[in-house]
Amino acid sequence: MLTVLLAIGMLVLLSLVFGAILGYANVRFHVEGDPIVDQIDALLPQTQCGQCGHPGCRPYAEAIANGEAINHCPPGGQSTIQALADLLDVEAVPLDGDHGTETAKRVAVIREDECIGCTKCIQACPVDAILGAAKQMHTVIADECTGCDLCVEPCPVDCIDMVEVGVTAKTWSWDKPQGIAATSLNIIATDRQAEVVH
């Protein structure tokens, strides 16, 4: 009987000691985890266009963290949805067409001789990508423009165009090979190779 009690007593003591150590370690070596909103925000394209129905990407990140669907961001497109799905461990769904469709990358271009210098576009641009002053000609810094479209509507003389950024030799990238199914009807590839080996 005594042995049993002793054993129980010892175990209780040990568990208390370890519990205390673990508790201390938890406080002492606490690691500040990346809050989920930051992680989601990092995956969003930061176009700040508001097509998702939120005033910018971060608010949408917060909304996603609170359970909104992950397929409301057209500029991010399917790849962003995939990344979000991976992060949140949910099913990747197709882009919600109500919020717009995925378009090729574009930048705004101001037809400068038509600009009346009203500064309305400057006020609309979420990333300060437009340069100009009252009654002066305005222009877009193409490298900073996210192609969000927000400056087009406010322009009273409609002199802003969204221009597609085409692929150049420097930005071109290799296609993915078609894979097995697409190319092959011959099961045994070497059969055909045998004919042409020289």
Partner 1 sequence: MQTASIFSFHGGIHPAENKAQSLQLPLGRPSLPSELILPLGQHIGQSSRPLVKVGDSVLKGDAIAINNGFLSSFLHAPTSGTVSAIEERLIAHPSGLSDLCIILTPDGKDTWTTLEPLNNWQDISKTDVLAYLSEMGIIGMGGAGFPTQVKLQGAHKNPLTHFIINAAECEPYITADDMLIREKTLELVLGIEILQHLVEAENVVIGIEDNKPTAIAALKTVLTQRNSNIQVAVVPTKYPSGGEKQLIQLLTGKEVPSGQYPADIGILCQNVGTCVAVHDAIKLGRPLISRFTTLTGDALNASQNVEVLLGTPISHLLDYADANPNALHRLIMGGPMMGYTIDSPLVPIVKTSNCILAASKKELPTPAPEQACIRCGMCEQACPASLLPQQLLWFSKSQEFEKAEHHNLFDCIECGACSYVCPSSIPLVQYYRHTKSSIREAREANVKSDLAKQRFEARKARQDAEAAEKEAKRLARQKAAPSKTTDAKKATPAKAAPAVAEPASDDSKKLKVDIAIGKSKLKKLQKQLLEAQEKEHVEDINSLQLQVSDQEKTVASLEAQLANVAQAAPAAEATPAPANDELKKAKIDVALIGVKLKKLQKQLDESPDDQELKDKVAGFEADLKAAQAILATLGASAPVASAPKAAANDDLKKLKIDAAIAKAAVKKVEKALKKAEEINAPEIDAIRQQLQDAQQRADELEKALANPEAATQTAETTTAKAESVADSANADAAKKRKIDLAIAKAGIKKAEKNIQLLKDQGKDESEINASEWPKKLIEAQEKLATLESEQPTPATAKTETKAVPAEAQAAADMDLATQIKKEKIAVALAKAQINKLNKRLENSPEDTNSIRQEIDAAEKRLQSAEALLEKLIHSQTNMQENR
User: Is 49 annotated to bind ligand?
Assistant: yes
- Least separation in angstroms between residue 60's CB and partner 1 is 13
Interactions with partner 1, residue window 69-128 (CB under 8 A): 114, 116, 126-128
SS3 call for 154: coil
Quickly list DSSP for 5-27. Answer: HHHHHHHHHHHHHHHHHHHHHHH
Q: Rounded to whole angstroms, how far apart are CA atoms 134 and 122? A: 10
| Contact letters for ligand SF4, residues 52-91 (x by CB under 6 A) | x-x-xx--x------------xxxx---------------
**Which among 11-19, 22-30, 87-95, 167-175 is the span making contact with partner 1, rule CB under 8 A?**
167-175
Spatial separation of the C-alpha atoms in residues 14 and 191, rounded to whole Å = 71
**From candidates 44, 63, 64, 110, binder to partner 1 by CB under 8 A:** 44
- Residue 177 DSSP one-character state: P
Q: Looking up tokens 């070596």, which residue turns up?
A: 29
From the CB of residue 38, how many other CB atoms can be counted at a distance below 10 Å? 12
**Which residues would be at the binding site for partner 1 (CB under 8 A)?**
41, 44-48, 56-57, 114, 116, 126-129, 135, 144, 146, 156-159, 167-170, 172-180, 183-186, 189-190, 192-193, 196, 198
